[in-house]
């Protein structure tokens, strides 16, 4: 085991006030326990209950805040201001990654394949949206993670209700073409892709939704993922370009689809992925020999390098 004293006093940032608070508390607790087992002087720090000014008492921060406030550049900006090194992506990459539309615009501008979409507002012509994207389509809040507020729409008359549901979570809503095919997730550690995982939710859920992510035990995770070696390498290379294009760094995750013609489509980036027992980054890291504890220490070690924030 490496000399854990080199990290000094570490704040494990967890909880927060986003829609993903409960998941963040679970993830953060798992990371905290892993660091303590590894000999790190780590403490839980919930910004909902404490002033972020108290972070000056720590040497570095392990960010496990999901969603708004933690994954969108806000806490990263605070830590930059306080000159405290932290894990993961910086301010700009976090802000872009949290905004599904900005992410897609950058990917499109970089000639990276992502599903066609429309931003929906009160003046949108819904018939035109359906005509251009086809059915089924998926409605998403633009600034939420963990599939919060998402709906698959199969019939045009269900569109308004799906938009209303998404609007409860975000003023900005998008419609995206539904890609029929296989869903994959690609995790990154130290900026390099880990083995691809295939996600197979049970047949009774439309997609890998919040419940499938956190509450069910019947989602199948394929490692190996079922792609040929050449396809897997192609998908990893594509996702690495996509990860770097939005300015993400260190560790994170990109979700992608392969359609029935074999084409890959990028869905979104997660700059602070879950770290619970159900989570995908630990599963991918485990496939190349990282225990959960070793993974947490490896992520924290990114704060020691010159590339850290």
Catalytic residues: 20, 146, 279
User: Mapping DSSP to helix (H, G, I), strand (E, B) and coil, where does residue 259 land?
Assistant: strand
Nearest in space to 52 (alpha carbons), one of 21, 25, 86, 75? 75
- Is 144 part of any known ligand binding site? no
CA distances from 210 to 47, 50, 78, 152, 183 (A): 23, 28, 29, 13, 15
What the block records as the tokens of 165 is 């549901």
Between 159-167 and 126-133, two packed helices, what is the crossing angle to 10 degrees?
A: 100
As a whole number of Å, the CA-based R_g of the chain is 19
- Is 268 part of any known ligand binding site? yes
Pairing of strands 151-153, 137-141: antiparallel
Could you give the CA distance from residue 229 to residue 181 in angstroms, rounded to a whole number?
Answer: 19
List the beta strands (DSSP E) in 178-263.
181-189, 192-193, 197-200, 220-222, 252-259
- Is 231 part of any known ligand binding site? no
Please, are residues 13 and 62 in contact by the beta-carbon 8 Å criterion? yes
Q: Binding site for Mg(2+), residues?
A: 255, 268, 270
């Amino acid at each position: 085991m490496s000399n854990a004293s080199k990290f000094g006093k570490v704040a494990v940032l967890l909880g927060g006030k986003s829609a993903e608070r409960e998941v963040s508390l679970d993830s953060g607790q798992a990371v905290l326990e892993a660091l303590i087992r590894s000999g790190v002087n780590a403490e839980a720090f919930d910004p909902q209950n404490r002033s972020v000014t108290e972070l000056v008492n720590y040497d570095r921060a392990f960010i496990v805040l999901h969603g708004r406030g933690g994954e969108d550049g806000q806490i990263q900006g605070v830590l930059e201001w306080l000159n405290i090194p932290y894990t993961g992506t910086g301010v700009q990459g976090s802000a872009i990654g949290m905004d599904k539309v900005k992410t897609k615009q950058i990917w499109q501008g970089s000639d990276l394949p992502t599903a066609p979409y429309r931003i929906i507002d009160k003046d949108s012509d819904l018939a035109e949206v359906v005509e251009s994207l086809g059915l089924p389509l998926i409605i998403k809040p633009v600034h939420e993670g963990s599939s919060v507020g998402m709906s698959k729409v199969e019939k045009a008359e269900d569109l308004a209700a799906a938009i209303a549901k998404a609007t409860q979570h975000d003023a900005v809503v998008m419609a995206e073409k539904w890609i029929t095919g296989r869903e994959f997730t690609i995790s990154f550690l130290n900026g390099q892709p880990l083995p691809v995982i295939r996600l197979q939710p049970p047949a009774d859920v439309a997609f890998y939704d919040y419940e499938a992510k956190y509450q069910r035990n019947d989602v199948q995770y394929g490692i190996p993922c079922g792609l040929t070696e050449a396809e897997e390498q192609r998908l990893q290379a594509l996702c690495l370009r996509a990860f770097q294009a939005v300015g993400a760094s260190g560790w994170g995750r990109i979700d992608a689809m392969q359609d029935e013609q074999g084409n890959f489509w990028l869905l979104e980036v997660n700059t602070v992925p879950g770290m619970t027992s159900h989570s995908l980054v630990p599963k991918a890291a485990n496939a190349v020999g990282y225990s959960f504890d070793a993974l947490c220490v490896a992520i924290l070690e990114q704060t020691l390098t010159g590339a850290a924030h």
